[in-house]
Copies of this chain bind each other. A is one copy, B any other.
């Protein structure tokens, strides 16, 4: 217990005064238990009698209550002092802060009232065996973890497991040394920006794109070159002819449009990077989940020039609350990226890294992926069926056969129409999410981002039915 004595008068009175002040300032809340007189005496280096006398004084003032055999408690206390302080923002202290303040409101998920169904993208697939496996892996990891500072690039075991994983599943040849463990894909992108970009440098991003990545780049001070995406992914021919230091892409399953980058575009993009000494940041956020067609090779697996930073995440493969991801570093940037991670936060938490390595080594991770892929395939089919049955008059579904969401395009709808639809659906208990805000071009194409990982197949069927009703209500002229 922290108390400063003011040195005036008797010691017991000083202790009482200090306690009274702590109560008045809200540092001791109503009902909070005071330390025992023995403990407080030890803390303050005083005799126990001094503290006993101070407590008696406060009891006499009704500032504290004593309950038989269970110590002393604060009787009445005002609101915490912190609450009374000003909450006015100061002027932005740096250009970074100024840029951040100009961004649209930063929200991960809109705060929605209780909904019957929310077609939110980014909800994890709930899988009870995974939680059980994770709990066991964490327990084992605590027992064997070195609790000191670990290597900034990540635990060796996890780096090895990740290099095997990307070799098997994404065709990437790399060693454990090339792997940098980071706190999710967002940190991976941020470290890449630190290492690659000065304030004012240009970055090519996809249009549409992932908002939180875009915001991090804008706050960093990058100038964004929004490059259109079509059915084959990024339109490489529309990249700046003069080159650009960094290109951020989601080739496996473009976010949010769902396009899978064609092999021709992949080759063209790698050629562009080689020719212009550009760095490609490949965000493979959900490339694992593929339900049909041939697997697409990661850009990193085709990259002979060492220009690709492959960023992977466990947010979609396991769950977002984990906050673990990785970069497969190109050799030329290896030391810079690890140095930036060390300076950023010394390294990611060790116990969860070991638990993840355990899960990957034991086969539980592969089992979960197989289960999740099968389950997502079922859910996706239920949503596609439901949309065909109930929404086909309005919605054009782009079926890329991958990921955890699909896009229902609404051709010829205006932004205002979509907004009304979202509001009406909300009133009926259905959470919808417009793809509009992900576009930088204006007017943005109209459509809905339909996430299917967080609802069961049955719920998705019912949600599609409800969506159909909302569409009919919002708009009567169907697709041509």
Contact = CB atoms under 8 A, between A and B. Distances in A.
Interface stretch (A234-242, A332-340, A382-390, A422-430): A332-340
Contacts of A190: 343-345
Interface stretch (A79-87, A442-450, A470-478): A79-87
A163 interface: yes
A169 B90 contact: no
Given A45-B293, A195-B97, A196-B94, A173 B134 contact: no
Contacts of A195: 93-94, 96-97
Contact of A186 (B108, B343, B352): B343
B320 A147 contact: yes
Contacts of A212: 342-343, 346
Given A80-B173, A135-B143, A139-B139, A100 B336 contact: yes
Contacts of A22: 167, 171
A4 B173 contact: no
A453 to B, nearest CB: 11
Nearest to A173: B81
A332 B89 contact: yes
Contact of A294 (B32, B45, B184, B351): B45
A216 interface: yes
Given A124-B147, A149-B321, A27 B142 contact: no
Nearest to A292: B45
B147 A339 contact: no
A146 interface: yes
A175 B135 contact: no
Interface in A124-139: 124, 126, 131, 134-135, 138-139
Interface string A283-297: 000000000111101
Contacts of A81: 173-174
A29 B78 CA distance: 66
A427 B103 CA distance: 57
Interface string A311-325: 000010001111110
Interface string A159-180: 0000110011111111101100
A264 interface: no
A268 interface: no
A122 interface: yes
Nearest to A319: B147
A25 interface: yes
Given A106-B339, A331-B85, A339-B106, A171 B323 contact: no
A2 B45 contact: no
Contact of A101 (B88, B321, B336): B336
B170 A149 contact: no
A45 B148 CA distance: 47
A288 to B, nearest CB: 10
Contacts of A347: 323
Given A27-B172, A149-B321, 16 more contacts: A2-B297, A26-B173, A27-B168, A44-B294, A90-B333, A93-B279, A93-B336, A100-B339, A101-B336, A106-B343, A138-B138, A138-B142, A147-B320, A186-B345, A187-B344, A322-B351
Sorted nearest first, the 4 A-B pairs with minimum C-beta distance are: A90-B332, A321-B350, A147-B319, A81-B173
Interface of A: 1-5, 22, 25-29, 32, 39, 43-45, 80-83, 85-90, 92-97, 100-101, 103, 106, 108-109, 122-124, 126, 131, 134-135, 138-139, 142-143, 145-150, 152, 163-164, 167-175, 177-178, 182-184, 186-187, 190, 194-199, 201, 212, 215-216, 219, 245, 279, 292-295, 297, 306, 315, 319-324, 331-336, 339-340, 342-352, 370
